[in-house]
Amino acid sequence: MRSAIYPGSFDPVTLGHWDLIQRAAKLVDRLVVAVLHNPAKSPAFSVDERVAMLKELTATLPQVEVTTFHGLLVDFAKAQNAQFIIRGVRAFSDFEYEFQMALMNRKLAPELETVFLMPKEKYSAVSSRFVREIGSMGGNLSELVPEILRTRISERLLKG
Ligand code: COD
């Protein structure tokens, strides 16, 4: 069985993440979307909120599971019997960070392969950071987050 982990902060999930999830789900038998639980950070959305949104979004994809992880990604991937880590590259600016992370993860676990996917061009400028900023100022999120989650994300960001 081909299994992959798509790890991230997903704070909150965007149309860019969703594009990647759908692409990755076509490549493997099992895709685990894994939300980092990092108590040292103060995310805009709690881990439970992020997991709930991802579960709702991926409900129509039976090969997708949503869960949380803490600690090293490679340890989690091994515990899940995954062979692949999915990461996204939007633009050249992502490349250095993603490249370093992939090489470091390879040092830690050579048997795990990082697979990079590109989103549709129209999502290449979409990021959770912009969603948080625009949403907290009441801006339109229709081009940035999945429609089924839009109201929830907008209302939550406006409330702060
Ligand atoms: N189009 C395409 N890809 C996108 C888009 C978009 N519009 N938006 C985001 N992505 C990609 C990102 O490039 C990334 O690859 C992925 O989606 C997730 O993005 P984020 O921003 O939600 O998540 P990150 O990048 O903050 O996640 C970082 C991790 C949690 C994966 C990382 O910190 C980690 O693995 N932590 C665990 C500790 C560990 O193992 N550390 C050692 C690492 S070497």
Pick the residue whose CA is nearest to atom 10 on ligand 1.
88
Atom of ligand 1 at shortest distance to CA of 125? 7
pLDDT digits (tens, 9 = 90+) for 43-68: 999 999 999 999 999 999 999 999 99
Give phi and psi for 137, each to the nearest 5. Answer: -105, 15
pTM of the model: 0.97
β-strand partners of 35: 8, 68
pLDDT at 130 over 90: yes
Domain residue extents for the chain = 3-124
Q: Which residues are annotated as a binding site?
A: 9-10, 17, 41, 73, 87-90, 98, 123-129
Question: What separation in angstroms does the CA of 53 have from each of 12, 57, 157, 159?
Answer: 8, 6, 14, 17
Q: What's residue 108's pLDDT?
A: 98
Q: What is the CATH number of domain 3-124?
A: 3.40.50.620
Residues known to be catalytic: 17, 41, 90, 128
pLDDT digits (tens, 9 = 90+) for 66-95: 999 999 999 999 999 999 999 999 988 889
How far is it, in rounded angstroms, from Cα 29 to Cα 40? 33
